């Protein structure tokens, strides 16, 4: 689990890469569940919340950059 503090320390490019990784993990979890493989139910929640946390930090950084112009 990543924290907002960890995300805030990253650049916009790093956040985009992290978002892609989290989306890929979310997809893999969904495929594992659909094929009947035993996945840990809390992983779905963790990934979903990490994605939301990352998007929030990215939006904060975009607003700060626009405000600074």
The pLDDT of residue 69 is 66
Given a cut of 90, is residue 1 above it in pLDDT?
no
Contact partners, residue 23, CB within 8 Å, separation at least 6: 51
Given a cut of 90, is residue 2 above it in pLDDT?
no
Range of the domain at 50: 4-68
> pLDDT by residue (tens digit) across 9-55?
999 999 999 999 999 999 999 999 999 987 789 999 999 999 999 99
Any idea which residue has 């956040």 for tokens? 15
User: Is the separation of the CB atoms in 31 and 60 below 8 Å?
Assistant: no
Q: Count of domains in the chain?
A: 1
CATH of the domain at 27: 1.10.287.310
């Amino acid at each position: 689990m990543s924290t907002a503090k960890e995300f805030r320390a990253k650049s916009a490019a790093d956040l985009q890469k992290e978002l892609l990784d989290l989306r890929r993990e979310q997809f893999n979890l969904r495929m594992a569940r659909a094929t009947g493989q035993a996945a840990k139910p809390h992983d779905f929640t963790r990934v979903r919340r990490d994605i939301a946390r990352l998007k929030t930090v990215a939006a904060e950084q975009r607003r700060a950059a626009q405000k600074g112009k």
